[in-house]
Structure 1
Amino acid sequence: MITCRTAQQCGQADFGWLQARYTFSFGHYFDPKLMGYASLRVLNQEVLAPAASFQPRIYPNVDILNLILQGEAEYRDSEGNTIRAEAGEALLLATQNGLSYSEQNLSSTTPLTRMQLWLDACTERSNERIQCLSLLPKPHTLLASPDGVQGSLQLRQQVWIHHLDLQAGELQELALNGPRAYLQSIHGTFSATGEHHDSQTLTCGDGAFIHQENRLTIQAETPLRALLIDLPL
């Protein structure tokens, strides 16, 4: 089953310095039926105004994946560690108990646009506290995985995150490891087809819950960027 959740159905925020779209309950947006999906706790698209920042805060035990779509950001923890990431890069922060983290848009003229995911971290797993990956212009990239295969970011959870970058008319078929996944359009329009159900059409900002599908076929109608988050547990 493929159950669509359109961009218009998501939570919205506009604080001037921050504009955001929330897939699941976050901040002021609360829906008791949408508290996350399996180990995926947060899936936000956020735009920070030039020079804006998130002040230091402490997070639950999660891996935070930031996919930078526009601009450049600096991340800092309370131990003084810093890293910068820019458009075309993905950054993974393995949050630690007792540490706080801040985020700064480094440009005084350009907004910072990014996707942010939080994934519950298994306490018995460990990975590098900060990891960064530059995305190459190819149709499919394994962005993150439990064991860091194919040069992917390593997660503290049984989750596989795929990044798709397709031209109009291109097709990508992906095998899923378990009964659940979440599909998110960053931009572009495409059809998603499972093995046993009719296709669904998604466009910019739309998402879809994937249930009980072993394989998924993505057919781009326009130039497309999308994430497929494979959540077997």
Structure 2
Amino acid sequence: MITTRTASQCGKADFGWLQARYTFSFGHYFDPKLLGYASLRVLNQEVLAPGASFQPRSYPKVDILNLILEGEAEYRDSDGNHVQAKAGEALLIATQPGVSYSEHNLSKDHSLTRMQLWLDACPERENPLMQKVSLDNVATQLLASPDGSNGSLMLRQQVWIHNIDIAKGEQLNFQLHGPRAYLQSIHGTVHAQCVQKEQQSLTCGDGAFIRDEANITLVADTPLRALLIDLPV
């Protein structure tokens, strides 16, 4: 089963220095039916104005994945760790109790656009505090996984995140690890096919809940950039 969540259905915010779209309940946006999906707690697309910052704050024990779409950001924690990430890179932060984290748009002239995901972390597992990977110019890249396979970022959870970048008319098939996944269109239009021949079309900014499908085929109706988040747990 595939259930679409369109961009127009998502929560929104415009604070001047920050424009945001929230897939799940976040900040002032609250929907008791959308508190997350499996271990996926947050999926936001946010635009920070030139020179804007998120001031230091603490988090629950989650893995925070920042996929930089435009611009360059710097991330710091209260233990003195810091890292920069730019468009075409993804950064994973393994949050720690008692530590606060900040984010800064390094440009004084250009906005910073990124996707941010929070994933519940297994309580007994620890990974490197900050990991970064560059996106390859390939149709599909394993961006994050439980074991860091194929050079991917290593998560503290049984989740596989795929970055998809394909031309119009191209298609990809994915074998899923379990009964749940989430598909997010970043740019472009795609339709998803499953065994029952069901099709759902997603356009820019739309997402879709995927349930009880062993595999799924994605067909790009336009040039497509998307994320497929495989969430068996």
Matched, 1:222 2:222: yes
**2:145 maps to amino acid:** S
Helix, strand or coil for the counterpart of 1:150?
A: helix
Residue identity matched to 1:88: G
SS, match of residue 31 in structure 1: coil
Match of 2:187 in 1: 187
Give the drift of 1:2. Answer: 0.2
User: Any stretches of 5+ residues in structure 1 without a counterpart?
Assistant: none
Aligned to 2:43: 43
Amino acid at match of 2:50: P
Q: 3-state DSSP class of the match of 2:182?
A: strand
**One-letter code of the match for 2:155?**
L
The residue identity in structure 1 corresponding to 2:177 is N
Mapped partners of 1:153, 1:6: distance in 2: 28
> Counterpart of 2:5 in structure 1: which amino acid?
R
Corresponding letter in the other structure for 1:226 = A
AA of the residue aligned to 2:125: R
Which residues in structure 2 correspond to 1:21-170 (within 5 Å)? 21-170=21-170
Q: Distance in 2 between matches of 1:198 and 1:160?
A: 23
Q: Please state how far the C-alpha of 1:19 moved relative to its aligned partner.
A: 0.2
The Cα shift of 1:123 comes to 1.1
1:82 and 1:124 map into 2 onto residues whose CA distance is 24
Q: How big is the alpha-carbon RMSD for the aligned residues of Structure 1 and Structure 2?
A: 0.5
Aligned residue type for 1:172: L
Aligned equivalent of 1:3: 3
Aligned-pair identity in percent equals: 71
> Which one is further off, 188-197 or 146-155?
188-197
- The amino acid across from 1:79 in the alignment is D
* Residue identity opposite 2:51 in structure 1: A
* Distance across 2 between alignment mates of 1:140 and 1:47: 25
Deviating above 4 A after TM superposition, structure 1's stretches of 4 or more consecutive aligned residues are none
CA distance in 2, matches of 1:122, 1:18: 31
Quote the Cα distance in structure 1 between the aligned partners of 2:140 and 2:124: 30
The CA distance in 1 between the partners of 2:222 and 2:197, in whole Å, is: 22
Shift of 1:109: 0.7
Tell me the distance in 2 between the aligned counterparts of 1:25 and 1:9: 12
Measure how far apart 1:63 and its partner are.
0.2
Q: Give me the whole-angstrom Cα distance separating, in 2, the residues matched to 1:227 and 1:45.
A: 12
**One-letter code of the match for 2:192?**
A
Cα distance per residue 1:88-130 (max 9 Å; x no partner):
0000000001000000000011100000000000011111110
Post-superposition offset of 1:195: 1.4
Per the normalisation by structure 1, the TM-score is 0.99
After superposition, the C-alpha distances for 1:50-105 in whole angstroms (9 at most, x for unaligned) are 00000000000000000000000000000111100000000000000100000000
Q: What letter corresponds to residue 102 of structure 1 in structure 2? A: S
Confirm or deny that 1:200 pairs with 2:194: no
Contact 1:196 1:213 in 2 (8 A): no
Q: Kindly tell me the number of residue pairs found equivalent between the two proteins.
A: 233
| 5+ long unaligned stretches in structure 2 | none
Report the alpha carbon displacement of residue 197 of structure 1 after superposing the two structures with TM: 4.0
